[in-house]
Amino acid sequence: MKWSMLAAAAAAFVSLGASEALAGRDLDQIKQRNTLRCGVQGPSNPGFGVPDSQGRWSGFNVEVCRAIAITIFGDPNRVEFVPVTTQSRFPALSAGEVDVLSNNTTWTLTRDSNVNRFNQPAITFYDGQAIMVPRRLNVTSARQLNGATVCVQPGTTTELNLADFFRANNLRFTPVVIADLDELRRAYDSGRCDVFTNDFAALAAQRTLLTRPADHVILPERLSKEPLAVTIRQGDEELTNIVAWTTFALIDAEELGITQANVEQIATTSTNPVVRRLLGVEGNMGESLGAARPDYVRQIIRTFGNYGEMFERHLGTSTPLGLERGMNNIWTRGGLLYAPPAR
Amino acid sequence: MAESTSAPGRDLPGRDAPALPTFAVRALAFARACFDGPVNGAITLGCLALLWWLVPPFWDWAVTRATWNGNANACREAGGACWAFIREKFWFSIFGLYPYEQRWRPATMMTILVIMVVASTQRRFWGRGLLVAWAVAAPAMLVLMGGGVFGLDPVQTRLWGGLTITGVIAVYGLALGYPLAILLALGRRSDLTLVRWFCTAVIECVRGVPLISLLFMAAIMLPLFLPEGVTLDRLARVLVAYTLFTAAYMAEVIRGGLQAMPRGQYEAADALGLSYWKKMRLVILPQALTITIPSQVNTFIGLFKDTTLVVVIGVFDFFTTLRAALGDPNWLGFATEAYVFAAGVYFLLCFAMSQYSQRLERSLRPGAR
């Protein structure tokens, strides 16, 4: 009796998993499966990827994946979101459990090389380790922090970057190490340390949870470079192009002033050849890229808006995270976002 | 009334049973026991002080200043516990990432699961009928969740989540692991050398590895070694790993029971001419399993709580869905409430298991039959 039960259960499972094949080029496989498998940070990452109360994923990284799905399929809903942890993300990508990682993975040489055989086609967010201090200390630069007590998570690159920064600037500091981020924030809030350090986006989220967020300021220095990039397996040029040029399209649209609200009007009235090419009104950019339809950019912008609109919706000053654009602004406005020409 | 039987031969007058002490008398006796000397008095006062120190602030946080309705800002203003957050995320913690429109399916499945589990705990249902019911219900529940037939939309197992997946992993893992554990325990004490070696090797290898790495191997590494084209669903792989782990741990508990049986029981069964399987089924196992109930339940509870480890491979179990809910930008900073709620749910389930095992122990005790 037990065995028949086991066999039936096994049969049910095998039939469920029958569509998971591990063969062929990545893009072909994605198209054959008819869905893009997108690895997002689990359990959740405020602003970047969070399941809402109905179990639907939303956030900046989530929309990046949906935009890629528009390029491949012309349909933002052909995405399966697979939560991965910081430990499981790379094995999951190598093993084909996911096709792309959109989970705040920093672009580094060892990851984007023959060692790990990954590919990081485009940066979606520029992060970096930052320092927060109470406003009453009247500190304007991290170089004034000699002798400070610093709240930091142990065993992370954050801790190492902190030590490097203070040593390089001949400063002394006393670390207060607490593993749990919530507890670390409480320690800082109660005045156990003068300084709270973490990656900028995370630090900004933590600031909103302090008793008086306005009494704290994040200093301009960045202790590390954390360019967060969409990550895929190495060896599929077509998928690399699609990921890169989907990201560039979001950036280009913002630079050209194309928004969710005006994209249709611009597409029909604009005489600017750059705009017309980007939106697929003339030329064959979509076809060159292997997109599902020539006006894929138009569809992306109509669905999600440009980079700036996505940023403001999930991370910007009107959200609880309250991030300033900073480095994540268009190059013409003092940021680092610069897309190669779409022609 | 009762004849004294303790001292036969002496003719003592019968005595009435002593009257049950009233509540006041018992309370007085309790109070006296708490202060019957300087040491006990000091300990009692210390405990009272500790309660005084812990309970009122907790009560103040959890009840007096708590917020039951409204949004995060209302919670932050009140300053107490934000139960509104738990209310908002309650169904998410039950169903996890399962498609919203299809939530009736895990709801139905959970209802069937609860009915089956409760029925299985009642001795009067024990028998062939229950096994048949499980044989029908177990695949039916998986089909209901997975879909793809009878007009049900297919739902990938990676979307199963919340308390539902905790229930599935725990019930299926423990139910499949238990018979396997009995076989492994018997095999380890077998006279056949090959069988004994094999069972010992399985038990030691599985037990010698942490569950978390076993899960990781099953979920992430295994697909790398499988031949091309051969795939197995991720949840199935997790279940296999969890079942093996359950079996290895349970097998050792059951082996303890087998070894505790007096030799006379084995010899008596042999003398009756029972075959090996009949001897085990009718004489040895019923006794061996009964005497090991406390340690079996101990292992069960431990294994049940271990289901939270599936988070490493991205399965959203009950605890993980609550942690995911913590990242909701509209509800940042209510970690304490989520953890208190999770602790409460796990405590209730584990306490129920423990209570049931005590009842079962009493009813299965030879003297009680």
Q: What is the pLDDT of residues B270-293, one digit of tens each?
A: 898 888 888 888 888 888 888 888
Contact at CB, B236 and A2, closer than 8 angstroms: no
Q: What is the pLDDT of residue A279?
A: 92
Give the three-state DSSP class for A172: coil
Asked if B176's CB is within 8 angstroms of A88's CB, the reply is no
Q: Is the pLDDT of residue B369 over 50?
A: no
Position B366 scores a pLDDT of: 61
**What was the pLDDT predicted at A179?**
75
Residue of A nearest to B156 (CA): A16
The DSSP H or E segment spanning A183 is helix A181-189
Could you report the per-residue pLDDT of B23-59, keeping only the tens digit for each? 888 888 888 888 888 888 899 899 999 999 999 988 8
pLDDT at B367: 58
User: Does position B231 have pLDDT exceeding 70, yes or no?
Assistant: no
Per CB-CB distance under 8 Å, the chain B contacts of A37 are none
Nearest to A307 by CA among A35, A88, A69, A67: A67
On whether ipTM exceeds 0.85, the answer is: no
Q: Which residues of A touch B216 (CB under 8 A)?
A: 87-88, 91
Which DSSP state fits A279? T
Lowest-confidence range among A310-324, B188-202, B224-238? B224-238
CB interface of B with A, residues 304-323, below 8 Å: 311-314, 316, 320-321, 323
Q: What is the pLDDT of residue A70?
A: 95
CA distance B308 to A187: 28
- Which pLDDT belongs to residue A158? 82
| pLDDT top residue among B135 and A306 | A306
Where helices occur in A192-320 by DSSP H, the ranges are 200-207, 237-255, 263-269, 273-278, 285-289, 296-304, 307-314
Q: Let me know: does B85 contact B66? Beta carbons within 8 Å.
A: no
- Predicted local distance difference test score (pLDDT) of residue B280: 86
Nearest chain B CA: its distance from A103 CA (Å): 13
Instruction: Over range B154-183, report the average pLDDT.
Output: 87
Work out the number of other CB atoms within 10 angstroms of the CB of residue A312.
15
Nearest CA in chain B to A83: B314
Q: Given B138, B316, B321, which is nearest A5 (Cβ)?
A: B138
Higher pLDDT residue, A79 or B364?
A79
Give A47's contacts in chain B (Cβ within 8 Å). Answer: 329
Q: What is the mean pLDDT of chain B?
A: 83
b/e burial code for range A22-49 (CB count within 10 A of at least 16 → b)? beeebbebbbeeebbbbbbbbbbbbbbb
Using a CB-CB cut-off of 8 Å, the residues of chain A touching B233 are: 13-14, 16-17, 20
Mean pLDDT of A48-75: 92
**Per-residue pLDDT for A6 more than 70?**
no
Structure tokens of B191? 């006279």
Q: With DSSP H G I counted as helix, E B as strand and the rest as coil, what are the percentages for chain A, rounded to 5?
A: 40, 20, 40
Task: Compute the distance between CA of residue A307 and CA of residue A300 in angstroms, rounded to an integer.
Answer: 11
Contact of B349 with chain A, judged by CB distance below 8 Å, is answered with no
Tokens of A343: 């022609």
The residues, any chain, with a CB within 8 Å of residue A282's CB and separated by 6 or more, are A273, A276
Nearest to A51 among B97, B220, B233 (CB): B97
List of chain B residues whose C-beta atoms are within 8 Å of the C-beta of residue A10: 236
- Inter-chain residue contact A56 with B148, CB threshold 8 Å: no
Report whether pLDDT(B259) > 50. yes
B344: Cβ–Cβ under 8 A, 6 or more apart, which residues? none
Average pLDDT of span B75-103: 84
pLDDT confidence band for A14 (50 / 70 / 90): very low
Beta bridge pairs of residue A227: A126
Chain B hits for A43, Cβ within 8 Å: 311, 316, 320-321, 323-324, 326-327
Q: Is the pLDDT of residue B17 over 80?
A: no
A96, two tokens: 């084909």
* B335: confidence class by pLDDT, cuts 50, 70, 90: confident
- Cβ-Cβ contacts under 8 Å, B176 against chain A: 2, 6
- Tell me if B134 and A5 make a contact (CB, 8 A cut-off): yes
Facing B231 at nearest CB: one of A2, A20, A82: A20
Say if residue A330 is exposed, middle or buried (CB neighbours under 10 Å; 0-12, 13-18, 19+). Answer: buried
Please give, rounded to a whole number of angstroms, the shortest distance from the CA of A81 to a CA of chain B.
9
Better-predicted residue by pLDDT, A16 or B212: B212
Could you say which residues from 179 to 218 on chain B have a Cβ atom under 8 Å away from some Cβ of chain A?
179, 216
Query: What pLDDT, on the 0 to 100 scale, is given for residue B329?
Result: 81
Contact (CB<8Å) B324/A53: no
CB-nearest to A83 from B132, B216, B316 is B316
- Domain with residues A129-224, CATH architecture: 3-Layer(aba) Sandwich (3.40)
**Which is the CATH superfamily of the domain at A20-126+227-333?**
Periplasmic binding protein-like II (3.40.190.10)
Best of A15, A19, A44 to disrupt the B interface by mutation (most B CBs within 10 Å)? A44
Could you tell me the sign of the dihedral formed by the alpha carbons of B233, B236, B242, B244, in that order?
A: negative
Residues of chain A above pLDDT 70, percent? 92
Domain A20-126+227-333 shares a fold with domain A129-224? yes
- Chain B partners within 8 Å of A52 (Cβ): 92, 328
Greater pLDDT, B369 or B344 = B344
- Cβ-based contacts of A8 with chain B (< 8 Å): 135, 138-139
Q: Which domains does chain B have, with CATH numbers?
A: 23-64 (no CATH), 78-98+155-368 (1.10.3720.10)
CA distance A99 to A27: 9
> What pLDDT is recorded for position B229?
62
Q: Check residue B230 and give its pLDDT.
A: 64
**Highest averaged pLDDT of the listed ranges A57-71, A134-148, B168-182:** A57-71
Taking the CA of residue B276 and the nearest CA in chain A, the distance in Å comes to 20
Q: Bin A280: left if φ > 0, else alpha if -120 < ψ < 50, else beta.
A: left
**Of residues A146, A175, A178, the one with CA closest to residue A160:** A175
Report the pLDDT averaged over residues B236-265. 89
**Domain residue limits, chain A:** 20-126+227-333, 129-224
Interface test with B, best of A1, A5, A14, A16 (most B CBs within 10 A): A16
Residue A308, min C-alpha distance to chain B (Å): 19
- State residue B228's pLDDT score: 63
- Cα B154 to chain centroid, rounded: 30
Q: Which of B91, B116, B142 to mutate to test the interface with A (most CBs of A within 10 A)?
A: B142
Say what the pLDDT of residue A23 is. Answer: 33
Contact flag A53-B321 (C-beta cutoff 8 Å): no
Tell me if A94 and B224 make a contact (CB, 8 A cut-off).
yes
Query: How many percent of chain B have pLDDT more than 70?
Result: 94
What's residue A302's pLDDT?
94
For residues A83 and A41, the answer to whether their CB atoms sit within 8 Å is yes
Q: What percent of chain B has pLDDT over 90?
A: 10
What is chain A's mean pLDDT, rounded? 86
Q: What is the pLDDT of residue B310?
A: 80
Secondary structure, 3-state, chain B: CCCCCCCCCCCCCCCCCCCCCCHHHHHHHHHHHHCCCHHHHHHHHHHHHHHHHHHHHHHHHHHHCCECCCCHHHHHHHCCCEHHHHHHHHHHHHHCCCCHHHCHHHHHHHHHHHHHHHHHHCHHHCCHHHHHHHHHHHHHHHHHHHCCCCCCCCCCHHHCCHHHHHHHHHHHHHHHHHHHHHHHHHHHCCCCHHHHHHHHHHHHHHHCCCHHHHHHHHHHHHHHHCCCCCCCCHHHHHHHHHHHHHHHHHHHHHHHHHHHCCHHHHHHHHHCCCCHHHHHHHHHHHHHHHHCHHHHHHHHHHHHHHHHHHHHHCCCEHHHHHHHHCCCHHHCCCHHHHHHHHHHHHHHHHHHHHHHHHHHHHHHCHHHC
Say yes or no to pLDDT of B80 above 70.
Answer: yes
Is residue B22 exposed (0-12), middle (13-18) or buried (19+ Cβ within 10 Å)?
exposed
User: For A210-239, how does the pLDDT look when each residue is reduced to its tens digit (9 = 90+)?
Assistant: 878 888 999 888 888 889 999 999 888 899
